[in-house]
A and B are shown apart, each in its own frame.
Chain A
Amino acid sequence: MLLEKLSNACGISGYEDEVRDILRRELQEHVDEMWIDTMGSLMVRKGTGPISVMLDAHMDEVGFLVGAILDDGYVKLKKVGGLDDRVLPGRQVWLTQKRIPGVIGAKAWHLTSPDERGKVIPFDQMYVDLGCKTRQEVLDLGIEPGEPVYFATTFERYSDKVVKGKAFDDRVGCTIVATILQAFSHPGLTIYGSFSVQEEVGLRGAKVAAYNLNPDLALALEGTGSANGAGVDPFDTITNLGDGPAISLMDAAGFPNLQVWEQLVKLAQESGIRYQHRRLITGGTNSGGIALQRAGIPACTIAVPCRYIHTNASLLNLDDLQGAVSLVDHFLTSLEKGDFRP
């Protein structure tokens, strides 16, 4: 499964090579042109139709960089992207693209005061333990400051529908865009697949990609938070796993283009594609950055709910992924038939 390969690939912001290589191999038979832009984003083109559509998904994931390597062989981390300190201690990690194993350690439980036990361990008190005793031992493993660090998580299937893995934000988006390019044909359109870099550090790759591609419109395919877990008031769940892809109402990076948004909702309703809206406006997505390029590009975000997003292990429902693929395909068809013009 493509999602499995992409989830198991390691690529924090700025280190997207493994992901890019997988996508290149997967797509080369299915697209007319393929290139890597100045930022390192993978751009592909399929078709030469009169309407151009950018389908964006970011390749990067959240993780860490090696910070200071201490004299006693411990490694301090720097965050790349938004990470929740509550879920970090005890996690197994991989250091560098060679996946050298380590574990995020913190002060021993026995040494903590009752007061400390009730609190989140501050990030600056955490470190990675590789079993090394000296700084030199760490360096000898090939670990240097600035090398990437990943959650050591392998993709698993929990049930027919639910899968677990790291980096579903945004390998699920990459999977959707790649699937569209592989499985469907829309000769009336020019479809640009934009597998962008550095989303988690400021929507950087997609802004440059959109400026260069200058498409008629864009969709950003994303993973988004879902909190319909145990004990959460159904009112506060952001999105629900299994209730279909979320068509964004608004996020921290701005509004979706209203006409594109209306069309997506209409198509979902007409085609019986289960969908939902994201009931939270924090967190930015690439469509916000794309929308502002040049004279403005109509854009909207479609996102697959991911529980425990931005942690070591997210869950998603494959029906939601399939729903997103189907919605994008219907949207492209409506553009191609001229039912909708931006």
Chain B
Amino acid sequence: MSEMLERLHRLAATWGPAGREHKMAETLEDLIQPYVDEIEIDKFGNLIAIKHGIPGKGRVMLAAHMDTVGAIALNVSSTGLIHIAPVGDLKAHHAIGQRVVWGSGAVGILQHEPVSEAKDVDLKKLWCDIGATSKEEALENVRLGDICVFAGELQQLGDALAGPGLDNRAGCAVLLEVAEHLTDPNVDVAFVFAAQGEIGPRGAGPAAYRLNPDLALVLDVTSAGDVPKGPRVEVKLGGGPALKLKDGGYLAHGPLADLVARVAAEHKVPLQTEIAVGAGDRTDAQVVSIAGQGVPTAVIDIPARYRGTANEMVNLRDLHAAADLVLKLLSSSLELG
């Protein structure tokens, strides 16, 4: 098994919804620690790891949010059913019947009131059954405010991988790959595994403010358009990473986007271009690019199918190409003219 794949399996096995990233941060710290000079968790819960470059040559921030969508316990019925609200963009029709795991370790099943038509499906009619038969029994295992995420292991399907939380374990795995292969960088490279990317996004902004980098690259996933009635974008699974030009909260920094495209072309790294169409399509770039006095920011996305479901799908070739592209960028001149 490749290092990349091994790491992805380990990340997938780590519980880490938005707002509760401490376990994920521990796993990532363990994985990146051999390759960096400094490491810490900031006040917001972001994991920040820095590899030193030549003093005075500047600093690049590489960011990937480390949280996943989930659901928060708000209420428990007298029969022990846990009523929930979404944490991030959880959709009821993706959730019905899925197995979930809570922060306490309790496992449950998401179920829904009977409906006669699919359009009547609603998160308000959804609950989590952990097998408890009373409110007291349920609260012994899951307290209010605990959060659950889709449970399940990654499944390899040829070069593709399917499983929960690949948004954004894929981006995290790319950063780990970069960290492993990055030797003697000119610039300081700050790896930021950002908290609360699925709500807001939030954590990456304070991290960028504090690091005050000369430029930032954000690694995230984006919806591929190559499925029936998928988003009307050109991005295909396996077609290489996608350079984002625009989404619901971001417009590309022109000179930096040009640089990314030029380096990809020079080194024959496949690169797709992407304009995310949904208002809800956001990445950490939204907050990183406007942090402090402003940070030139590019987004390099991993194409993904079935986002938000318990089986998101990415292609390993795209992850490797993204890591390759970031490494090539870091060894290029980063002058933006």
Contacts and interface: CB of A to CB of B under 8 A. Distances in A.
Interface in B126-185: 144-145
B85 interface: yes
Interface stretch (B53-61, B202-210, B241-249): B202-210
B293 to A, nearest CB: 13
B5 interface: no
Given A235-B77, A254-B199, A292-B202, A249 B43 contact: no
B87 A296 contact: no
Nearest to A298: B43
Nearest to B72: A250
B87 A250 contact: yes
Interface string A66-103: 00000000000000000000000000000000000000
A296 B85 contact: no
A297 B145 contact: no
B209 A250 contact: no
Interface in B28-58: 42-46
Contacts of B200: 254, 292
Interface string A294-332: 111110000000000000000000000000000000000
A294 B206 contact: yes
Contacts of A254: 19, 196, 199-200, 202
Interface stretch (A7-15, A116-124, A156-164, A275-283): A275-283
Given A250-B87, A279-B144, A280-B74, 4 more contacts: A295-B44, A297-B43, A298-B43, A342-B43
A295 B40 CA distance: 14
Contact of B75 (A235, A258, A295, A296): A235
Contacts, number: 66
B209 A277 contact: no
5 contacts: A249-B145, A277-B144, A279-B75, A296-B206, A298-B43
Contacts of A293: 206
Given A249-B144, A279-B74, A281-B72, A255 B42 contact: no
B210 A250 contact: no
Contact of B205 (A235, A250, A255, A292): A292
A291 interface: yes
Q: Return the 8 tightest CB-CB contacts between A and B, nearest first.
A: A296-B206, A296-B44, A295-B210, A255-B19, A249-B145, A279-B74, A281-B85, A296-B43
A248 to B, nearest CB: 9
Interface of A: 235, 249-250, 254-255, 258, 261, 277, 279-281, 291-298, 342
Contact of A294 (B74, B83, B210): B210
Given A254-B202, A281-B85, A296 B42 contact: yes
A39 to B, nearest CB: 19
A218 to B, nearest CB: 12
A341 to B, nearest CB: 11
Contact of B72 (A235, A249, A291): A249
Contacts of B199: 254-255
Contacts of A258: 19-20, 45
Contact of B206 (A235, A279, A295): A295
B18 interface: yes
A226 to B, nearest CB: 15
A277 B199 CA distance: 20
Contacts of A295: 42-44, 206-207, 209-210
A250 B86 CA distance: 10
A308 B199 CA distance: 28
Nearest to A262: B145
Contacts of B87: 250
Contacts of B44: 291, 295-296
Interface hub of A255, A258, A297 (most chain B Cβ within 10 A): A255
Interface string B87-115: 10000000000000000000000000000
Contacts of B42: 295-296
Contacts of A342: 43
A235 B74 CA distance: 10
Contacts of A280: 74, 85
Contacts of A294: 206, 209-210
Contact of B19 (A250, A277, A292, A297): A250
A250 B74 CA distance: 10
Contacts of B72: 249-250, 281
Nearest to B208: A295
Contacts of B46: 296
A261 B196 CA distance: 17
Contacts of A255: 18-19, 196, 199
